[in-house]
Structure 1
């Protein structure tokens, strides 16, 4: 990359987390931020600066815009700038990347609806200057329509700025694997993975359109400036392939390597697989912190297939870690990491009474702790930490499970109808008949009625009681907050409100816990888990002055999709084969989420299968490093607040 280009790109980032200069592994400039919120604000600032610059020149500013969860915060900030700082969009012309086909503009899943909901309805842009591909174009007219879309972009002098997201297939816009370097706006068949990722918004993959209209690779790469947004660990692998891999039609985003003014804006999750972050010792000399040392040695074990205690000087030297041996020999290093790993393992997640806790993850005192398990949805508790849940109850701690949301959107209409019909048979009523009628008359993508949402929430609540009773918990220790941010009836949720935070504060003050467990599965920065964790952290922040908070520890677990890296784990709870089975049965209590769960992501297995494999993999990784052999293990990281 040219030095002048790097200087130009530095302006947007102010104080980013990470490196400005590319390493020898990287072929696209990237800037890494600690979180997507700050990154989005910086991107919005660059767009605003470009708009104002064009205004001062009395020229039109032509923006290429993207949809999806990644740019939402950027649009929110642009709206804020318009309302609070007077940023005008009168000189702005926009062209959106894509639209599903077929798709009515009024459909809440349409990108036309998305853009107006998040941006256009809130700014002073001339509606004539807004261009979004039309999802209602008849098949026989699509070729002419696409050519006309290209022509309009050219008439405005091309795109001054193009905002992009990236799909897990490496698609930009809907340019799926196989897209040609010189492709223009056209109709394309969506990749299966793309449709799977869209399935939650459409309440099932069967409802996701198979085709779309998209700007082409050629159209995108002609933009004068390109910024691609990448958030979350679920994008990390494709980000690495795009930035460090070879240019390939199988990863269309790699075509951006040839663009002269392109920057990837990433959060730490999305950038986690980049060589400079995952294995920085392979890039340059490192400052060997204790955390980095553990990460490197565990990686070395995986590379060599050896246990920690069997690593030799030669292993270190042959794998770019020779400078670690300049102060300590391999034997001492190995012993340190072996002990560190061994001390994370405990069968006493609430602390072992009357034991020396110097090297244990949890405190011995108080011997009986008050515990809150926060569960974003009404099954994350047993899916993510069912074995630990069982241990805490078994060992006599006062355990409370707090379900943060109703989870109603994840109940299918089929299940809801089944329960409504049972209720109708037992006690016929107009209210129940109304629910049945609303299901029978429901149109595609129509939002559930409040009555139907309430029924679906009740279904999940009953399943939760079944699971917690099976785990030996009293009903009085099971709490349902039904946080308002979730109750929209759609996959898109509201922002956290004061009411949400107040409910969180109240339940924590009521229980005064010594331990809190919360979901730290942040692969999707706009997902429910992230919002629920934000609610926990904000509540704890407000409760800081309370005396009981000084004795409260927060442990984070992961969900069904990801696990903590071994070097991150601070407490690992072994499970016996019997506990594995007990956890499975507890998950089975959530019957509406079994046999075709609505939001399963890219993994077709059921949640209990994923959870068991994840726990088994963790145990196998510990065993491969030289630790004791267990059937399964659940992992946690302590969060300092």
Structure 2
């Protein structure tokens, strides 16, 4: 067994512990920290912890708090040193790591705050060098750090040691990478509000810890985890330096592990148990690797690329090629609602009923046309009863000056009609004053949120109408969680679920299209999907008959596409349909040119959408399928 494991992990240059989810991993990390604390207590010594901030350690801290409150774990002998802090920043600022640590851990345990050390974001810049030297000396005075926990940024940074950091670097002031600042933009209201600098422990400082634990959760981190674990050591990915440490272990969940060789291309490291899904993935990978259409792959291609076992067990290889080619070909359909009267045994959707009730759930008011605008149009054109449900108002993603522009328009219109504009003038004055003094990430007033929501509502109606929908089939859910999370940390989603259940009951759809793009940097897509899934599951458990005949299709948005082997329905678009989809996206004027939260892709949303669907079409063509202008892709959710 040990030899088999070593073979599977031979590309991995640092120990990796993989868990089913972040909760299980966080439990074990907290347990390890608690063990160290207790060991030091038994020895009459202080435990020195190196702590991190961000999303990754939150569940670790939650479990430590539980251990303190329910199992008597004491922090009286604990000394802590935090990895980093933004600069400049006040300790009571919402984004400050001082505030984060107090809210997530220190305020809930019996730690002596005199033993807590966090880089000072309020210092004059000319005092930072001396502070950093003193920070290093304090760590040394306690005998060094017993266990250092780390997250990892998408640039590969640990702490705020960005690409280019030296392996022997110490605590210092650094300039933040543009991607790091974009990732932090939601916390600060926009990238422009994110500090350009930070104080961070150096890589050399981190390396001195007797134990180093790096955490990474979800597929968002899969790409950088592969580079950190399997890539060459390089300053371009600072986390790769951990490969040279004898004390470092990566704790990751299944999502973060998916691009490691043993999971992504297991045939390169071990004999596989081949099923239909793995065969399809492997053959597509082989075709892309050797740049050949599937039907031109040879036995030599299989043997020379780690797939001789597949060729031996299921060959001759031409039969494998034909089988996979046919499977991919059968995903392609111009009838996303099913083709009535046709043989549907090899089609992705059912032929009956001829007219389907379809509902497209759109987390933000533009995800419908960006992600599946061509399919949306096709469903309406082919006579299906198509509904669209905009799950949130999207008011967060509207520039402040747009609000004033629309209120100015309303005031001018009122005056032109000889109507009293006094109310609007007073409203405009209060809005102007609020926005003049608005702080980064400060929540808007209710009136401003309403105007921003109305801006996006009007755009969504225009886009849906262009796609061919009737007004009575356009639904604005304005789910409460979206605004509630701006004011509350612990949010219940029960009313969101109940509202979704009622809409589904009213429509009783045969098809549900919902966002399955969890690379959304704001997390809204995932929350909206989970609300739909919970609502549908409850209705199914209540025995509502229509749920047995309803299929759920996942689409992806402007951030990330399904892999070819995952796609179960591919809807080809003509050049004219691509143009019509583009015009529907253009109706969302507040998101055009420069959206408030563009993510890490500088292209406009319509450009991203076109490039994404054109790339899918190109890949299908590269594999030997017909050449289309664009393809929108879907995966069916299976219970």
Please state which band the TM-score falls in when normalised by the shorter chain.
Answer: over 0.9
Cα distance between partner residues in 2 of 1:38 and 1:375: 32
Q: CA distance change for structure 1 residues 103 and 46 in 2, over 3 Å: closer, same or farther? A: same
Match of 2:370 among 371, 375, 383: 383
Once structures 1 and 2 are overlaid, which stretch shifts more, 599-608 or 485-494?
A: 485-494
Cα distance between partner residues in 2 of 1:423 and 1:311: 64
1:84-105 CA-partner distances (Å, limit 9, x unpaired)? 5554433333221111111111
Match of 1:9 in 2: none
Q: CA distance change for structure 1 residues 474 and 433 in 2, over 3 Å: closer, same or farther? A: farther
Cα distance between partner residues in 2 of 1:246 and 1:306: 29
1:348 partnered with 2:312: no
Cα distance between partner residues in 1 of 2:602 and 2:80: 38
Cα distance between partner residues in 2 of 1:370 and 1:56: 67
CA contact (8 A) 2:40 2:46 kept: yes
Once structures 1 and 2 are overlaid, which stretch shifts more, 267-276 or 562-571?
A: 267-276
Once structures 1 and 2 are overlaid, which stretch shifts more, 226-235 or 143-152?
A: 226-235
Match of 2:245 in 1: 259
1:123 partnered with 2:106: no
Match of 2:582 in 1: 584
Match of 2:388 in 1: 401
CA contact (8 A) 1:40 1:71 kept: yes
Match of 2:262 among 276, 288, 301: 276
Cα distance between partner residues in 2 of 1:254 and 1:615: 34
Once structures 1 and 2 are overlaid, which stretch shifts more, 218-227 or 306-315?
A: 218-227
Q: CA distance change for structure 1 residues 360 and 57 in 2, over 3 Å: closer, same or farther? A: farther
Shift of 1:368: 1.4
CA contact (8 A) 2:186 2:522 kept: no
Match of 2:152 in 1: 166
Equivalences for 1:520-559 in 2 at 5 Å?
A: 520-523=516-519, 527-545=523-541, 546-559=544-557
Q: CA distance change for structure 1 residues 435 and 517 in 2, over 3 Å: closer, same or farther? A: same
Match of 2:459 among 458, 463, 472: 463
Q: CA distance change for structure 1 residues 607 and 526 in 2, over 3 Å: closer, same or farther? A: closer
Match of 2:164 among 168, 175, 178: 178
1:516 partnered with 2:479: no
Shift of 1:183: 1.0
1:287 partnered with 2:285: no
Match of 2:417 in 1: none
Q: CA distance change for structure 1 residues 303 and 367 in 2, over 3 Å: closer, same or farther? A: same
Cα distance between partner residues in 2 of 1:277 and 1:604: 31
1:428 partnered with 2:422: yes
CA contact (8 A) 1:485 1:494 kept: no
Q: CA distance change for structure 1 residues 79 and 502 in 2, over 3 Å: closer, same or farther? A: farther
1:52-111 CA-partner distances (Å, limit 9, x unpaired)? 444454443322222222223333343444445554433333221111111111221222
Cα distance between partner residues in 2 of 1:526 and 1:59: 43
CA contact (8 A) 1:231 1:524 kept: no
Q: What is the RMSD computed on CA atoms of the aligned residues?
A: 2.3
- For the residue of structure 1 that corresponds to 2:342, the secondary structure is coil
Match of 1:607 in 2: 605
Once structures 1 and 2 are overlaid, which stretch shifts more, 570-579 or 405-414?
A: 405-414
- For the residue of structure 1 that corresponds to 2:330, the secondary structure is helix
- For the residue of structure 1 that corresponds to 2:338, the secondary structure is coil
CA contact (8 A) 2:366 2:585 kept: yes
- For the residue of structure 1 that corresponds to 2:540, the secondary structure is coil
Match of 1:564 among 562, 565, 572: 562
CA contact (8 A) 1:409 1:491 kept: no
Match of 1:372 in 2: 359
- For the residue of structure 2 that corresponds to 1:417, the secondary structure is helix
- For the residue of structure 2 that corresponds to 1:270, the secondary structure is helix
Once structures 1 and 2 are overlaid, which stretch shifts more, 158-167 or 54-63?
A: 54-63
Q: CA distance change for structure 1 residues 313 and 412 in 2, over 3 Å: closer, same or farther? A: same
- For the residue of structure 2 that corresponds to 1:518, the secondary structure is strand
Match of 2:625 among 618, 624, 627: 627
Cα distance between partner residues in 2 of 1:88 and 1:419: 56
Give the alignment's TM-score, normalised by structure 1: 0.93
CA contact (8 A) 2:7 2:270 kept: no
Equivalences for 1:14-413 in 2 at 5 Å?
A: 23-327=9-313, 328-413=315-400
Gaps spanning 5+ residues in structure 1: where? 7-17
1:447 partnered with 2:443: yes
CA contact (8 A) 1:382 1:583 kept: yes
Shift of 1:507: 1.9
1:478-517 CA-partner distances (Å, limit 9, x unpaired)? 2222222221575997545222222222222222221111
Q: CA distance change for structure 1 residues 301 and 137 in 2, over 3 Å: closer, same or farther? A: same
1:447-486 CA-partner distances (Å, limit 9, x unpaired)? 2222222221222112111111111212222222222222
Q: Size of the alignment, in residue pairs? A: 626
Shift of 1:606: 0.5
1:124-163 CA-partner distances (Å, limit 9, x unpaired)? 3333232221111101100111112122222232222222
- For the residue of structure 1 that corresponds to 2:16, the secondary structure is strand
1:322-365 CA-partner distances (Å, limit 9, x unpaired)? 11121321111001100100011111111111111111111111
Match of 1:501 in 2: 497
CA contact (8 A) 1:89 1:123 kept: yes
- For the residue of structure 1 that corresponds to 2:387, the secondary structure is strand
Give the alignment's TM-score, normalised by structure 2: 0.93
CA contact (8 A) 1:107 1:445 kept: no
Cα distance between partner residues in 2 of 1:498 and 1:492: 15
